[in-house]
């Protein structure tokens, strides 16, 4: 059976980083507090309470709309989306339906076959429901508790057209969107639940399935990969794909059936009677956008002379881009290579963010590399020691202190020559093999010298010097 084309559209819910909730003055800083302590009659939907729109949330949403090249509607309005679920204390959600704040934008990503434009259908404002706390997994837990601290947190929902053709493209889109939102300073990606994804996925010609509440960037690719495989297997067995809503169980890497897929008319949308329409299109011109990821990438290439690939990596997050600029002054190319190729690898291995690496220590490490004081191997060892100290909650040593304590400074030219002479005297069989034309013997001899100097010689220079000494003895 020929593989059918995968069709994916995303609905991304982003918590806006405001100080108060969408329709009341309750604080949004609730994550370290007891459940149900950041609530009031408005966000609990008690009789007689009246919502009032958060102006900062509207400004943030307009900022995102402008950054994503959207058209801002002259008039938008809030609606009630009616459904029953335990975390929705009012039995309706205040959202936007047929008159969203912004429409028809786009975001460019590196697709599976080159640069790709992903169309943005709409961006609308809404309030977050509460949070269900499952005692166990969602499909096997014994009971569920509800925390309404999150109820009323300002959200924007960003809906794409079904332009994505693989789980990998979906992950790339989310990474690019996350970076854009970070640059705009409208959300905090490190807060739990700050960005959640619902994905609509189908194989061409089959029914669409919605996968709900994917809470991590890696989880999106994992959930969609599982779902593509599940749907393909159904079709190969001659079965049909059922239109339904499924839940991603991240711990097991699977999706499970949740309920049949609702239609829009099931929610009985109608205009929110307690809120007037929004007419804020005139605000757009006054909103100033910061330098966004694509613009900063081009500047890194032109200003610092870094490669396009390094520039793309270094601008993939605001904190990473700022870290690079903080360490790039002395040698931008060296800083780009060590930040993108070495530091990020070590951070990812430890599941650390860029904040874990003190910029002043990294600059000092780059100075030692540039001055030829240490080898690349020693530099990696120093980098690991610094990050391991951070992991253990200890104050890391400065790179120069580590070099002195462990004797990691490069072996001098005279010392290398002396060590080469020792190895030649000790490894006559390998020397004879080299003279017999067995070039692998040269690599063996280089390894023996590196062993004697504990890796503190430059391998390329050592190889050249060893070959010169051997050839002179012929």
In a domain, 170, yes or no: yes
In a domain, 198, yes or no: yes
What confidence tens digit (pLDDT) does each residue in 190-243 have?
A: 887 789 999 999 999 899 999 987 887 778 999 999 999 999 999 999 999 999
Q: What is the 8-class DSSP label of residue 281?
A: G
In a domain, 1, yes or no: no
Q: What is the largest CA-CA distance in the chain?
A: 100
In a domain, 48, yes or no: yes
**In the numeric block, which tokens belong to residue 311?**
């520039």
How many other CB atoms are found less than 10 A from the CB of residue 434?
22
pLDDT of residue 209: 94
Write out the residue range of the structural domain in which residue 328 sits.
Answer: 293-406
How many other CB atoms are found less than 10 A from the CB of residue 442?
17
Q: Are residues 147 and 208 in the same domain?
A: yes
**How many residues appear in the chain?**
474
Asked if 200 and 223 count as a contact pair (C-beta separation under 8 A), the reply is no
Residue 443: which CATH number?
Answer: 1.10.10.410
Q: How far apart are CA 44 and CA 150, in angstroms?
A: 11
Q: How far apart are CA 286 and CA 338, in angstroms?
A: 40
Q: Are residues 217 and 120 in the same domain?
A: yes
3-state SS of 430-466 is HHHHHHCCCCHHHHHHHHHHHHHCCCCCCHHHHHHHH
**Which whole-number Å values give the CA distances from 275 to 52, 94, 272, in the listed order?**
7, 10, 6
Contacts of 102 (CB under 8 A, 6+ apart): 61, 62, 64, 65, 68, 70, 71, 72, 73, 122, 123, 124
Residue 54 has phi, psi (to 5 degrees) of -80, 110
pLDDT of residue 423: 72
Q: Are residues 75 and 112 in the same domain?
A: yes
**In the numeric block, which tokens belong to residue 210?**
């919605």
pLDDT of residue 378: 87
**In the numeric block, which tokens belong to residue 317?**
């997050």
Q: Are residues 346 and 432 in the same domain?
A: no
Q: Are residues 78 and 95 in the same domain?
A: yes
Choosing from 286, 318, 350, the residue where a domain stops is 286
Q: What parts of the chain have a pLDDT lower than 50?
A: 1
Q: For residue 205, how many C-alpha atoms fall within 13 Å in the half-sphere facing its CB?
A: 7
3-state SS of 391-432 is HCCCCCCCHHHHHHHHCCCCCCHHHHHHHHHHHHHHCHHHHH
In a domain, 175, yes or no: yes
In a domain, 43, yes or no: yes
Q: Are residues 47 and 115 in the same domain?
A: yes
Q: Are residues 166 and 255 in the same domain?
A: yes
In a domain, 34, yes or no: yes
pTM summary value: 0.84
H/E stretch holding 241 = none
Q: Are residues 239 and 340 in the same domain?
A: no
Q: Are residues 327 and 222 in the same domain?
A: no
Asked if 334 and 365 count as a contact pair (C-beta separation under 8 A), the reply is no
Work out whether strand 102-111 and strand 195-203 pair parallel, antiparallel, or are unpaired: unpaired
Q: Are residues 373 and 262 in the same domain?
A: no
Q: How many independent structural domains does the chain possess?
A: 3
In a domain, 31, yes or no: yes
Spatial CA neighbour of 360 closest among 396, 384, 393, 385:
396
Work out whether strand 6-15 and strand 154-160 pair parallel, antiparallel, or are unpaired: antiparallel
pLDDT of residue 85: 85
Choosing from 360, 376, 406, the residue where a domain stops is 406
pLDDT of residue 401: 93
pLDDT of residue 260: 65
Q: Are residues 59 and 187 in the same domain?
A: yes
Q: Are residues 395 and 424 in the same domain?
A: no
Beta-bridge partners for 108: 117
Choosing from 286, 305, 326, the residue where a domain stops is 286
pLDDT of residue 246: 92
């Amino acid at each position: 059976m020929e593989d059918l084309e995968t069709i994916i559209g995303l609905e991304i819910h982003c918590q806006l980083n405001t100080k108060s909730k969408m329709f009341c003055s309750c604080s949004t800083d609730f994550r370290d507090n007891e459940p149900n302590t950041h609530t009031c009659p408005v966000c609990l939907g008690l009789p007689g309470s009246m919502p009032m729109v958060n102006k900062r949330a509207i400004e943030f949403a307009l900022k995102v709309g402008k950054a994503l090249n959207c058209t801002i509607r002259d008039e938008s309005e809030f609606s009630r989306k009616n459904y029953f679920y335990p975390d929705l204390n009012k039995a309706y959600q205040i959202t936007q339906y047929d008159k969203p704040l912004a429409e028809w934008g786009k975001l460019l990503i590196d697709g599976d076959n080159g640069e790709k434009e992903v169309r943005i259908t709409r961006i609308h404002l809404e309030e977050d429901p509460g949070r269900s706390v499952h005692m166990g997994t969602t499909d096997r837990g014994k009971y569920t508790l509800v925390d309404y601290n999150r109820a009323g947190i300002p959200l924007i929902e960003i809906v794409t057209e079904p332009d994505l053709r693989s789980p990998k493209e979906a992950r790339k889109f989310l990474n690019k969107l996350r970076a854009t939102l970070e640059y705009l300073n409208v959300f905090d990606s490190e807060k739990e639940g700050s960005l959640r994804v619902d994905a609509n996925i189908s194989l061409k010609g089959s029914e669409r399935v919605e996968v709900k509440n994917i809470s991590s960037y890696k989880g999106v690719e994992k959930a969609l990969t599982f779902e593509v495989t599940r749907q393909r297997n159904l079709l190969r067995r001659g079965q049909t794909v059922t239109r339904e809503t499924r839940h991603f169980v991240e711990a097991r890497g699977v999706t499970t059936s949740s309920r049949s897929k609702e239609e829009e008319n099931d929610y009985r949308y109608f205009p929110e009677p307690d809120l007037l329409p929004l007419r804020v299109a005139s605000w757009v011109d006054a909103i100033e956008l910061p330098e966004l990821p694509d613009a900063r990438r081009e500047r890194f290439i032109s200003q610092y002379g870094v490669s396009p690939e390094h520039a793309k990596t270094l601008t993939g997050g605001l904190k990473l881009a700022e870290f690079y600029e903080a360490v790039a002054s002395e040698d931008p190319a060296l800083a780009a290579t060590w930040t993108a190729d070495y530091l990020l690898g070590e951070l990812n291995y430890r599941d650390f963010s860029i904040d874990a690496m003190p910029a002043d220590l990294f600059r000092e490490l780059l100075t030692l590399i540039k001055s030829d004081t240490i080898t690349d191997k020693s530099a990696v060892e120093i980098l690991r020691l610094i990050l391991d100290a951070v992991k253990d909650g200890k104050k890391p040593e400065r790179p120069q202190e580590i070099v002195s304590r462990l004797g990691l400074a490069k072996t001098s030219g005279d010392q290398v020559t002396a060590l080469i002479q020792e190895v030649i005297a000790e490894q006559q069989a390998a020397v004879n093999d080299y003279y017999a034309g067995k070039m692998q013997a040269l690599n063996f001899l280089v390894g023996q010298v590196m062993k004697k100097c504990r890796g503190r010689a430059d391998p390329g220079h050592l190889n050249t010097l060893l070959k010169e000494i051997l050839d002179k003895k012929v």
